[in-house]
Structure 1
């Protein structure tokens, strides 16, 4: 198990390094675009509330990576409003597609500039799964007549639910009752929210499959951004991609459940060591 964890850790590190380099030409212009607003807002807050507030805002809150993640929430909210106000599925799909694309760049933006923060980590994961859960809902809402696809969607949702309850059980098992509840959650999340390469692949497969369903429904709308591409592809090709991604997602879902249940001694020690340090400093 230890060798497997080491290999996974090395693979994850290599994947992040490659992705950071690929994204660098995009992440740095984003950083410089956001920087003047970040500087001005934090400086203004510092004049009103003091230098400590200025430092927190500049270093931990108003980072370009967090701004990019915030765009994901904004696009998701726009898509949800569109659903309730009668926007076409094509318009909703376009917003959600751009929302999920931001996930490819916010992590590299933070790492390329040494600005990885707890807030950014939480926002990133909440944003990712908020988009995915909403896309799952849209698949059920618009694609209920595609009975072959529904079992895959149910199993996908079941895997997400199982992982949620496993993590709740792990937290209850390993948290320290003598330490504030919020600190327990923070440190546990810091350990659990660090997605390894398999988790990222699994998330990517699920996203491709779920968006594939929406793409099929939008394929005949000339206003869709991928209209010409989808018209050039055989209909069965996209369906094959969807089913292939879902099949691999289910396989990796089993891996994730096994990994979540088999909570390694290394992670337990890291989690409890952080709690012990907090208790000693309190």
Structure 2
């Protein structure tokens, strides 16, 4: 349960202006059936589908994406990276707004890595995982603006060199994933290499491990503190029981002696008179 809550918090704090990393697997609470898709506002996203157990309670999973800074000339495009191909009965379905079917990619698709262009500012991606064949793949979702858009004339936007009629947010450049049709946004970077979904797994697992270890340590410290307090309280009670009893005994003896003296002093005149 802690892992689930942490994964949700982690995804919510990612910067929407960069490629949001969305991990999809069988133990991730990101997955819901259509139309109850989990929604994200993005200017770019990388959906990493892991080889794991089927999705919770079903083999289907749905994610909805909306353009973070929407203008009239903003659109989505998507592509599956070349790292792997779909296997078995696994498939991916792309929808435009209101779940209008746009494209369906299967394991026997002739061109599964083609770029898919959308005409709506809100799209949905649906995944199906066969119980036997569990594909590992990544889908790069990019928001682009047409060349005559006012956004392309602003600072902070990059015109794709292969297509000057298209621009993307500069923050999507050099993030190790292609957002321009010909990879030009990654061509001038000092260091470019593919990064698989397993890398995100390691980052998430490492972070979750640190959180769990910290939680265990804090729990142990709290238990030790409680034990120490109880031991101290018990020692205090024992101390008071011993020394309190001694003081009480001493006081009782002193009180008895005083009473005896009073009794003797009150009784002696009578004896003398007799």
Which category describes the TM-score, using the shorter chain as reference length? under 0.3
Larger RCO (alpha carbons 8 Å, 6+ apart): 1
Structure with more helix by fraction: 1
Larger fraction in strand: 2
**TM-score under structure 1 normalisation?**
0.24
